Amino acid sequence: MTKIRAILIDDEQSARNVLTNLLERSSFEIDILTTCKNLEEGVEQIKELKPNVVFLDVQMPNYAGYEISKFFDKINFEIIFVTAYDQYAIKAFELNAIDYLVKPIDRSKLSITLQKLVEKLSKEAELVDYQLLLKTIKEKECKKIVIPELGNRRIINLNQIVAIEADGAYTKILLKEKNTITTSKNLKYFEDVLPKNKLFFRSHRAWIINLEYLEFLNKSTLNITLADGTITAKISRTKIADFEHIISH
């Protein structure tokens, strides 16, 4: 089960105590990183401790809870609003909050909310969207490669290659235009001749992929989706750590 790393923000000490008690007594694995008495303090702690969820009171002095968006360029944590007034639900969903709880908090409703949270966190951990990270590794320079093809030599740009797949004694080169080149050269040949940069990655004994076309990785099925979902490659479990290292650096 995905561990919940939470920060609680509420201007009332008693409300913080009640929610802390309810969370600690729930059946979910929850680490309460800290509790805060106002939004300004909460924002500082979020930036320092990096929780994956914030339980956020709506009505507080100085700033309302839904004003949290003013303090972040991007909200990369889940939000669960806690409010005494049901009409604030609309603010929750305007901010893409995962849910909201109405005071006094009902234990069964809290359990449903936590289950929803865990499911979302688990899904995000399995299906990682690498598009923003890929901006740091895309190669702007247009390079070419010579492909031996049935007695001929074809010259193509590297940025046209989406993936290279072993196919028995042959190798298939899958291109951006959705057509395929078949060559008698094996995958090791291409691994050796491709430029030693971060554009291409040997993800599997049968696959080399172009990271520029990466959509997402599914660790459960060991599939990598490329080129707007048109190609599904494989990744070996032993390659996942190297893959994530390249992407994040």
Taking alpha carbons only, the member of 178, 28, 206 closest to residue 115 is 28
- Strand partners for 9: 36, 56
CATH number of 4-127: 3.40.50.2300
User: Token digits for 58?
Assistant: 């709506």
pLDDT band at 129 (very low <50, low <70, confident <90, very high): very low
Q: Residue 139: what pLDDT?
A: 43
Q: Which residue has the tokens 């994040």?
A: 248
Give residue 86's region: left, alpha or beta (phi > 0; psi -120 to 50).
alpha
Give dist(CA 120, CA 6) in Å, integer.
15
| 137 has pLDDT over 50 | no
pLDDT band at 125 (very low <50, low <70, confident <90, very high): low
| 67 has pLDDT over 70 | yes
**pLDDT tens-digit profile of 4-33?**
999 999 999 999 999 999 999 999 999 999
Q: Residue 184: what pLDDT?
A: 84
User: Token digits for 200?
Assistant: 């291409």
- Strand partners for 183: 171
CB 114 within 8 A of CB 28: yes
Taking the domains of the chain in order of start, what are their residue ranges? Answer: 4-127, 132-248
| 1 has pLDDT over 80 | no
pLDDT band at 106 (very low <50, low <70, confident <90, very high): very high
Higher pLDDT, 147 or 225: 225
CB 248 within 8 A of CB 240: no
Write down the H helix ranges in 50-151.
Answer: 89-94, 107-126, 131-134
**pLDDT tens-digit profile of 35-61?**
999 999 999 999 999 999 999 998 888
**Mean pLDDT for the stretch of residues 191-220:** 87
The CATH number corresponding to 132-248 among 1.10.10.10, 3.40.50.12240, 2.40.50.1020, 2.60.40.10 equals 2.40.50.1020
